[in-house]
A and B are shown apart, each in its own frame.
Chain A
């Protein structure tokens, strides 16, 4: 009985020790580190195979440009997936927002910065509206997120087609095309990439440093525990889907700046590409685990593969095959980790993410 009392000073020592090593541990534990190694390996292979084509400023720029819009979508998707949800509607919401934005800007004469910024506001608002609808249906009506967002995926695209008759809109202010779509910072850094990086940074700060972010992990980890301590889980989930809608809306505005038109027929694979990247980057579909950094790396991999395959002369269709394998491997590894963690305390866990115990398995472990 006196064991804990006797060891209490030992406990303090242990606690302090565990805090001291934490910074090094924290770095090595980040699962994204493994995926960074994968990305580096791929890049090195391509660099060796095509030294004067792959590692060029031009190619790196185009890789970043091609990742930028996905990365913005990936920020919202990471938040959603950490809550153990899914948002399949992001591609269609991107299209819908870009259509609304283009229509608003077209009506205002399609020129000038004021018009462009009003267009940005329109895109973000329409994205937020779809996100709100998703969130309310998931949190309040208790319809599974997969079904809700499958429904709004069809509805948002359908409405975009109804509004345009299925014909893409081309009236985009040249100011935003020149600056956002093709402008550069310091001569070489595309503004589209800078904008995406700012969004990722803000998303990372919100997720990793604020109370809102911590609540996001908690809700994904054990919603019932959150309810018992008074967290407004439903309201939080609605905000999460609104964030996903807002990033989709912003991505829609960036997309029309870059392509100089809406792309009604061009985003059918977008949600799957983004979700695959986020999951490859270490965010768990079962909730409670994930980082924005990992998602960005996970989203870079398909783009790097595609670029590399084209350069070394492999048909770029192979990219789909490789990404498929990566995706399944990532979820397999995640599942293994959860299993190991659920099996109990005997073995010392080696990574932070090992804590993938679901509520159910905690109880099972207890009974045993």
Chain B
């Protein structure tokens, strides 16, 4: 049984059917790529599974238990994190404060009750998280707004990795990055996977998908049309599944 199983997810926006009974599976310790053409329903599916939007029908199980994420906090409390395309970092805050945004460690005793934070514990743990991932974050006291795109991405990935115990969704993590930075992010993704976390990678880059993913699940017109083992697949096969060319050939 998969770590997360979504069955028959339906979501419509007015007359537009974004998801038409879609299925999706995430395995622990694997990178699952989610691909599909524009409008295939990738973003909607991720939003539903990360609690940002609600499904109209269908069910989701996590570890075999039925779950219902009404909001992102519910998904997070189940150990599910998302690295958003726009990273969702506070540019004026340093990496430590971004890592601990809304999860600040309070000091013990009265000072903690008054809202004082244990900065040392937060910084020490941040160093651990960043080095653990080999993240290219060099300055812990500079605002992330002054950092390069790759470093910002590292902070965002490290934040999710620090808090996720089950699944991380990566929404087009390399869309805005250069070659070296992309390689670094893919490396981060592998490290997260090696920690036993289920990684979902949404990407438009087929070479990238083939490089890092274990399985590829293809969405088309709001349904999962194929589950492909990345190791013995090719760009042609993936593109064919996305566009529906394979079906036509089979028919």
Name A residues whose Cβ lies closer than 8 Å to a Cβ of B.
Answer: 1, 3-5, 7-8, 11-12, 14-15, 18-19, 22, 25-26, 206, 209-212, 214-215, 217-218, 220-222, 224-226, 228-231, 287-289, 341, 344-345, 349, 352, 354-359, 362-363, 365-367
Contacts and interface: CB of A to CB of B under 8 A. Distances in A.
Range for the number of chain B residues in contact with chain A:
35 or more
B146 A226 contact: no
A4 B145 contact: no
Contact of B123 (A19, A217, A287): A19
B245 interface: no
A239 to B, nearest CB: 12
Given A214-B104, A222-B88, A222-B90, A5 B141 contact: no
B166 interface: no
B92 A349 contact: no
Given A8-B134, A11-B137, A228-B72, A349 B102 contact: no
A84 B88 CA distance: 17
A19 B104 CA distance: 19
Contact of A355 (B86, B87, B91, B127): B91
A226 B73 CA distance: 12
Contacts of B149: 345, 365-366
Interface string B126-158: 010011001111111111111111011000000
Contact of B141 (A4, A19, A365): A19
A8 B131 contact: yes
B2 interface: no
9 contacts: A3-B180, A210-B117, A214-B97, A222-B91, A224-B88, A225-B88, A226-B102, A354-B143, A355-B92
Given A18-B139, A349-B146, A355-B144, A221 B91 contact: yes
A220 B92 CA distance: 9
B187 A4 contact: yes
Contacts of B186: 1
Nearest to B127: A15
A294 B138 CA distance: 29
Given A211-B104, A345-B149, A345-B151, 14 more contacts: A1-B183, A18-B141, A22-B141, A210-B116, A210-B117, A211-B115, A214-B97, A221-B92, A225-B89, A225-B101, A288-B91, A288-B92, A354-B143, A357-B145
Contacts of A217: 90, 92-93
Contacts of B137: 11, 15
Nearest to A352: B143
B92 A11 contact: no
A344 B150 CA distance: 12
B44 interface: no
Contacts of B147: 345
B76 interface: yes
Report the 6 A-B pairs with minimum CB-CB distance, sorted nearest first.
A355-B143, A366-B176, A288-B92, A355-B145, A357-B145, A4-B134
Nearest to B89: A225
A351 to B, nearest CB: 9
Indicate the member of A206, A210, A222, A358 with the most B CB atoms within 10 Å.
A222
> Which of A4, A25, A210, A212 has the largest number of chain B CB atoms within 10 A?
A4
Interface in B60-106: 72-73, 76, 82, 84, 86-93, 97, 101-104, 106
